[in-house]
Amino acid sequence: MEQFLAFIFYLIVGLYLIRLAFIYLFPWLIKRWMKRMAKHMEQQRQQYQQYSEPSASSQDSRSKLDDVGEYVDFEEIKDDKP
């Protein structure tokens, strides 16, 4: 009978400790993980911006493409002949 009561006692204490861990430890771990992920994403964004900055030669080619022509609007004409 003593072993059964000890089991029940340890079960209740264990469940209470798990509950406390989810109340205090789990949110702390999530916040820490979110900060790490935000820092990692910021580093990736900075690296992407460094590699994606346009150079002078690519800007020259863009300006040449802009002067190629202009957009012409058109309408579709339906042909009534079979």
- In this prediction, residue 48 carries a pLDDT of 86
Condensed to tens digits (0 to 9), the pLDDT of residues 55-76 reads 555 555 555 556 666 777 777 8
Phi-psi group of 15: left, alpha or beta (phi > 0 → left; psi -120 to 50 → alpha; rest → beta): alpha
Closest C-alpha to 39, from 47, 18, 61, 57: 47
Q: What is the pLDDT of residue 59?
A: 56
CA 36/CA 39 separation, integer angstroms: 5
- The proportion of the chain whose per-residue pLDDT surpasses 70, expressed as a percent, equals 78
Per-residue pLDDT reduced to its tens digit, 22-35:
899 999 999 999 99
Report helix, strand and coil shares of the chain as percent, to nearest 5: 75, 0, 25
pLDDT at 14: 96
Query: How many whole angstroms from its chain centre is CA 34?
Result: 11
Tell me what pLDDT residue 68 has: 66
